[in-house]
Amino acid sequence: MTKRPARGFANVETWVFDLDNTLYPHHLNLWQQVDIRIRDYVANFLKISQDEAFRLQKDYYKRYGTTMRGLMAEHGLEPDAFLETVHEIDHSSLTPNPMLGAAIARLNGRKFILTNGTRAHADAVLQRLEIGHHFDDVFDIRAAELEPKPQPVVYERFVARHDVDPNKAAIFEDLARNLEVPHALGMTTVLVVPQGAGVVLREDWELAGRDAPHVDHVTDDLAGFLRDIAKNM
């Protein structure tokens, strides 16, 4: 079966960006700090070994969208302390990215962050990158009422809150599975893949999906990709 032509950007008036491992390079391993803190939290919360905590962490992440959601569903976790603890990380590896900021600025329309992280974490990342002023708002895990991507209700709540027409929106993500629902809603989808994949610690399923029918475009250079879009608008 022939894959239908990829959707374009001519009619896009809303630009939606994932945060972690999308707006900054994977190889900085900023999210790895969060990953370690999640493992430690799971071990302490459930009184289990680090190895078992790591296994559960990844299992819940894959099945529920976030480890937190799995802990809530299966162990009655209260999420506030979890969210505050796991996002207490060192953001200093992030440096200003004026090229990305300039590329985002050239896009016509509104721009949003849609993340499974917290607003505070998003604000810290955007501040370090010096690109926060380009965005209209951050839709975080609390705005999604603690439901994580790729759950359909997350995208439904996002488009409702910000009055987004999915047929006039584009979304950028580093996980192909998080693009399936937006594509079904009508969005143009872009998968941002890691540079230097050999040094990026990710599971096979996280790196899969670049050829999926719900992925319209793939890039390993977000700033360059956005510049090319702006040139053709």
Written as one string, the DSSP assignment of 78-107 is: -HHHHHHHHT----TT----HHHHHHHHTS
pLDDT of res. 77:
96
pLDDT of res. 3:
59
pLDDT of res. 141:
96
Task: Sort strands 169-173 and 217-219 into parallel, antiparallel or unpaired.
Answer: unpaired
Task: Give per-residue burial for 203-230: e unless 16+ CB within 10 Å, then b.
Answer: eeebeebeeeebbbbbeeebbebbbebb
- Domain of residue 154, residue span: 14-25+95-231
pTM reported for the whole predicted model: 0.90
Residue 106 falls within a domain, yes or no? yes
Cα separation of 3 and 69, whole Å? 34
Say whether 204 sits in a helix, a strand or coil: helix
pLDDT of res. 31:
78
Q: Residues of the chain whose pLDDT is less than 50?
A: 1-2, 197-201
Domain count, the chain: 2
Instruction: Count the neighbouring beta carbons within 10 Å of the beta carbon of residue 148.
Output: 21
Residue 5 falls within a domain, yes or no? no
Is residue 45 within 8 Å of residue 78, measured between CB atoms?
Answer: no
pLDDT of res. 198:
43
Together in a domain, 167 and 60: no
Together in a domain, 157 and 174: yes
